[in-house]
A and B are shown apart, each in its own frame.
Chain A
Amino acid sequence: MDDSVSHDVLDIMAKHAEAEKGSITPDTSMEMTGLDSLKMVELIFDLEERFDISIPDPDFSTGHNQQFKTAADVIRVVKDMIREQDEDS
C-alpha cells in the first residue's frame, strides 16, 4: 500500500494515536492504536475533511459498533467513499 491515500490515512491515524509516523501499518489492529471511541470520532472528522468525503455510521442492528478492525479497514472505507463521491460528481 504505497499509494498516497493509504499513506495519508496512516499518517492521520498516527497523529490521532499520538504515535510516530510510520508506526501504524495497514495490519495494525484498531485496538493496538489505542484510539478510543472519541478519538475515532475526531479521526473520522479529519478524514472527511481531508478527502472531502462522508463516512457513514456503523450498522448498529448487529449490536456491534465496531466499524473498523484494522487500519486497512479504515483505508478501504476512505477509498470506497472517494470512489462513491467521484461517481456522484
Chain B
Amino acid sequence: MKRIVVTGIGCISSLGHNCAEFSEALLAGQCGIAPITLLDTSEFRVKIAAEVKDYDERNHFSEQQIKKIDRYAQFNILASREAVKDAGLEIDKKTSERTAVVQGTGIGGQRTQESGYRKLFTEGAKRLHPFTIPKLIPSSGASWVSIDLGITGPSFSTTSACSSSSHAIGMALLMLRSGIADVAVTGGSEAQITFATLKAWEGLRVMDSTACRPFSLQRGGMVLGEGAGTIILETLDHALARGARIYAELSGLGMSSDAHDMLQPDPAGAGRAIKLALADAGISPEAVDYINAHGTGTKQNDSSESKAINTVFGAHAKKIAVSSTKSMHGHALGAAAALESIATIIAIREQTALPTINFLDKDPECELDFVPNSARPMTINTALSNSFAFGGLNAVLVFRKFNNE
C-alpha cells in the first residue's frame, strides 16, 4: 500500500490568520473565544464564539471576487494558499492534473443564503443577486481552491456535520493510496456565525454561554467557532522525489456510523472508528501516545468519547495524553477536523501534548489524562484526531511521526 505523508499546513481561525500564530497560541494555551462581533447579540443567551478576528476580506480579495466568494470559501482559499506555499509545491501543468481538492464543510455559504433570504422575506426585495447560488453552494469552497490554485484533478466537497473535514482528509487519503492522484489539497472550512444559525444552535441548548470546558465536571456545552484548515497530502514517492519536508505520515483512517440517533452519541460507534483506524494503520492500541479528542464540551459527547477511549485502549488509556483543543479554537464544525488535524501535526512536530484549557474539576464520567490547562512536552510518535458528528458519523485519523523505514 502506498504511504501518504503531510508536507504542508495552512489555517485561519480564532487563534490567528496562519499556522505560525495557530501553533504559538495552542502551545501557550491561549483562548480564541470572545464576545461575538459579527452580529448583534442582544437577543441571544449565548454571546460568545471563536470568531476569526480582525478579518478584512478586502485585504485578500478584489471587489469582483468578494461578490462571488462567501466568507467560508474565502477561508478555504487562504488556508490552501498557505498550505501549498508551506509545502513548497509548484502546481504546473503536469502536477495540476494529478492533484485533488477535497474540502469539507458543514453548511457552506450560510451567510450568503441568510442575507439574501432576509432581503427577500423581510425587506421586500424582488430578486436576489445573480451570484447567490454559486456563492452559497457547499461545494464552492472546493471549486474556489481549484480555481485559485489552478488545480485540474478531481475536486469535491464532503459534508458530515462535525466530521466533514475528517471525511474529506480520509477521502483524499484513499484517493492517493489508490493512485487517482499524487497530491491532495484537503481540509475544510466553516463560517456560520449568523443570526439564524446562532438562534438554531441556541434552541438545541448544547452551548455554554461562559466558556468551553471539555471533559470538566463544570462543562456546559460547546462554543461555536469558524475558520479553515488545509493540509497537503502526497504519496511518499512524490514527496521524496521533489525533496519535500515531511511533517508526519497519515497512516490510518477509521470510519463508522452509530445508526442510533441524530443527537445522542453511541460510544460503540466511536470505539469502532478508533479500532478501524488503528487496524488501517497496522498498529496496536499501545502505540498511541496522544489523542486530539472530539471533546466538544457537551455532557453527552465528552462522557461518550471518554467511555469509547477507555473501552478501546483498556489499561493503556491512562497513559495516553488526551486533549480537546476546541477549548481554545471553539467548535469550527465542518472545519473542526481540519484545524484539529493541523493541531495534531503540530503536537507531533513540537513533541508536545496540547492542553485542554478552562479545565476545572474532574468528572467521574470522564476518566482520562486531559492535559489540563498547560501544554506538556512528551514523546509523540503516534497520535489520533477524533471526529464524532451529530447523526453518528464517525471518522478517526492516525498521524505518525515520519520514519523512512
Contacts and interface: CB of A to CB of B under 8 A. Distances in A.
Interface of A: 36-38, 41, 44-45, 54, 56-58, 60-63, 65
Given A37-B299, A56-B45, A57-B220, A63 B361 contact: yes
Interface residues of B, number: 19
B361 A57 contact: no
Given A44-B205, A56-B45, A57-B45, A38 B219 contact: no
A88 B204 CA distance: 26
B209 A57 contact: yes
A20 B203 CA distance: 27
Contacts of B287: none
Nearest to A65: B299
Nearest to B202: A57
Given A56-B45, A57-B205, A62 B300 contact: no
Nearest to A58: B220
Given A45-B203, A57-B205, A57-B209, A63 B45 contact: no
Contact of B210 (A45, A60, A65): A60
Given A57-B205, A57-B209, A63 B264 contact: no
A22 to B, nearest CB: 28
Given A38-B263, A44-B205, A61 B218 contact: yes
B264 A60 contact: no
A59 to B, nearest CB: 8
A54 B43 CA distance: 11
26 contacts: A36-B264, A37-B299, A38-B263, A38-B264, A41-B203, A41-B204, A41-B205, A44-B205, A45-B203, A57-B45, A57-B205, A57-B209, A57-B220, A58-B220, A60-B208, A60-B210, A60-B218, A60-B220, A60-B221, A61-B210, A61-B218, A62-B218, A63-B216, A63-B217, A65-B220, A65-B299
Interface in B336-374: 361, 363
B45 A60 contact: no
B204 to A, nearest CB: 6
A17 to B, nearest CB: 17
The interface centre, meaning the residue of B204, B205, B264, B299 with most chain A CB atoms within 10 A of its CB, is: B205
**Candidate in A38, A45, A58, A60 with the most chain B CB atoms within 10 angstroms:** A60
Contacts of A38: 263-264
Interface centre among B204, B208, B219, B220 (most CB of A within 10 A): B220
Contacts of B300: 37
A63 to B, nearest CB: 4
A14 B125 CA distance: 44
